[in-house]
Amino acid sequence: MGITFHFSLFTVINAVTGHVRILGIDPGLQITGFGVIEKTGEKLSYVASGTIKTAGGKSGKAEELPARLKIILTGLAEVIQTYAPEQVAIEKVFVNVNPQSTLLLGQARGAAISAAVLRDLPVAEYTALQVKQAVVGNGHAAKEQVQEMVKRLLNLPAAPKPDSADALACAICHAHGGQGLGKLATAGFRVRGGRLV
Q: Report the alpha-carbon distance of residue 82 to residue 124 in Å, rounded.
A: 21
In angstroms, the CA 69 to CA 30 distance is: 10
The catalytic residue among 26, 38, 125, 166 is: 26
Maximum C-alpha span of the chain? 50
Residue of 63, 78, 86, 163 marked active site: 163
Q: What strands lie across the sheet with 87-91, from one edge to the other?
A: 3-6, 43-53, 31-40, 19-26, 87-91, 123-126
Q: Which regions of 54-190 does DSSP assign to beta strands (E)?
A: 87-91, 123-126
The answer to whether 163 is a known catalytic residue is yes
Contact 45, 30 (CB under 8 A): no
Nearest C-alpha neighbor of 19 from the set 2, 42, 35, 36:
42
Active site residue 26: yes
Buried b or exposed e, range 93-108, using 16+ CB within 10 angstroms: beeeeeeeeeebbebb
Query: Which residue among the candidates 38, 42, 86, 91 is catalytic per the annotation?
Result: 91
Catalytic residues: 26, 91, 163
